[in-house]
C-alpha cells in the first residue's frame, strides 16, 4: 500500500551562488518515521507551485521552520527588521496554500516559521523580535554549533484544550529556536500552549479539522527520543490516512 503524500514547501537558499529550493532533511525523516507518510517537496520560485495541483496530490501539508521570516507586509505596515532574512518566494506559496488547506480541511502541521505563517495567513500578526520586548523572555537558540545543544529542551509550556487531551499532560518541556512570535492570534485559531512569559506556543484551527496544528517549537528533532513529539507526528499521519474524521475535533 502506498503512503499518503505530505507536501512540504521548500525555502529559498543559495547554493554555489545560485538560488535553490531546500528543506532540512529532519522534517522529511519525521514525516517518514513519525507519520509513516511520503514527503514531497514543492519548489517556491515564481510560477513553480500551482496550488490546485498541489492539493490534488496532497494528503497533508507540513510547514517547516526556516532561518527566514514572513515579510511584515502580510500583517502590518512595519518594515522588516532583518531585510536579509525575508523569503518572498516562500511567502507567495505558503500563505495561499494554508488558506486553501484550511478551507478544504486538509491535515496541516505547522512548525516554527510554519506556525507564524499559519497565523499570518489567517489574519494574525507577529512580534518581529520577541527578545526586545520587556514582558517576554529570549526565545532564540543558543549561539552554538552543537545541534544537540541547540535543539535541547529549553522551557516548559502549559497545554490547553485538545493538545492537552492528545498528550495527556498539563505541561511539557520544549526546545526554543525563534526570534519572532505570535502577537495577535488569528480568529480561526485557538491557543493550545503557552510559555511561562505568556507567549502563545501552539494553536489549532477550529472547528471540524482532522488535524490543523501549529507549534512554535521543533518536534521534528529526534522524534524517537521524545514521546510527545512522536505522538503529534503519529496523529498527523493518522489524519492524512483518513483515520480522524473531518468533523472530529483536532
Per DSSP, 68 falls in state S
Determine the Cα–Cα distance for residues 94 and 44; give it in Å rounded to an integer.
8
Q: Which of these is catalytic: 117, 192, 201, 220?
A: 220
Kind of pairing between the strands at 171-174 and 155-159: antiparallel
Determine the Cα–Cα distance for residues 204 and 88; give it in Å rounded to an integer.
25
Who's near 214: CB < 8 A, 6+ residues apart?
A: 63, 109, 110, 111, 114, 115, 118, 119, 189, 202, 203, 204
Query: Is 218 among the residues known to form the active site?
Result: yes
Q: Which of these is catalytic: 71, 127, 139, 218?
A: 218
Query: Is 220 among the residues known to form the active site?
Result: yes
Determine the Cα–Cα distance for residues 79 and 126; give it in Å rounded to an integer.
13
What is the signed CA dihedral for 31, 71, 98, 39, rounded to 10 degrees?
-20
Kind of pairing between the strands at 5-9 and 38-42: parallel
Q: Which of these is catalytic: 10, 71, 112, 178?
A: 112
Query: Is 178 among the residues known to form the active site?
Result: no
Active site residues: 112, 218, 220
Amino acid at each position: 500500500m502506498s503512503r499518503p503524500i505530505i507536501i512540504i514547501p521548500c525555502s529559498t537558499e543559495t547554493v554555489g551562488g545560485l538560488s535553490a529550493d531546500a528543506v532540512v532533511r529532519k522534517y522529511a525523516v519525521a514525516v517518514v518515521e513519525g507519520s509513516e507518510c511520503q514527503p514531497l517537496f514543492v519548489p517556491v520560485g515564481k510560477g513553480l507551485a500551482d496550488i490546485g495541483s498541489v492539493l490534488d496530490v496532497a494528503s497533508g501539508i507540513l510547514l517547516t521552520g526556516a532561518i527566514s521570516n514572513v515579510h511584515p507586509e502580510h500583517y502590518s505596515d512595519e518594515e522588516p527588521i532583518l531585510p536579509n532574512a525575508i523569503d518572498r518566494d516562500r511567502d507567495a506559496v505558503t500563505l495561499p496554500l494554508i488558506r486553501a488547506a484550511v478551507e478544504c480541511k486538509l491535515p496541516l502541521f505547522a512548525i516554527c516559521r510554519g506556525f507564524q505563517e499559519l497565523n499570518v495567513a489567517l489574519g494574525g500578526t507577529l512580534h518581529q523580535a520577541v527578545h526586545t520586548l520587556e514582558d517576554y523572555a529570549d526565545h532564540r537558540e543558543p549561539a552554538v554549533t552543537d545541534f544537540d545543544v541547540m535543539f535541547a529542551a529549553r522551557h516548559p509550556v502549559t497545554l490547553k484544550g485538545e493538545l492537552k487531551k492528545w498528550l495527556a499532560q498539563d505541561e511539557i518541556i520544549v526546545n526554543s529556536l525563534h526570534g519572532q512570535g505570535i502577537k495577535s492570534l488569528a480568529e480561526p485559531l485557538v491557543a493550545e500552549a503557552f510559555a511561562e512569559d505568556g507567549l502563545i506556543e501552539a494553536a489549532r484551527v477550529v472547528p471540524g479539522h482532522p488535524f490543523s496544528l501549529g507549534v512554535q517549537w521543533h518536534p521534528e528533532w529526534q522524534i524517537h527520543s521524545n514521546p510527545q513529539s512522536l505522538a503529534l507526528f503519529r496523529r498527523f499521519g493518522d489524519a492524512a490516512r483518513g483515520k480522524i474524521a473531518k468533523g472530529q475535533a483536532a
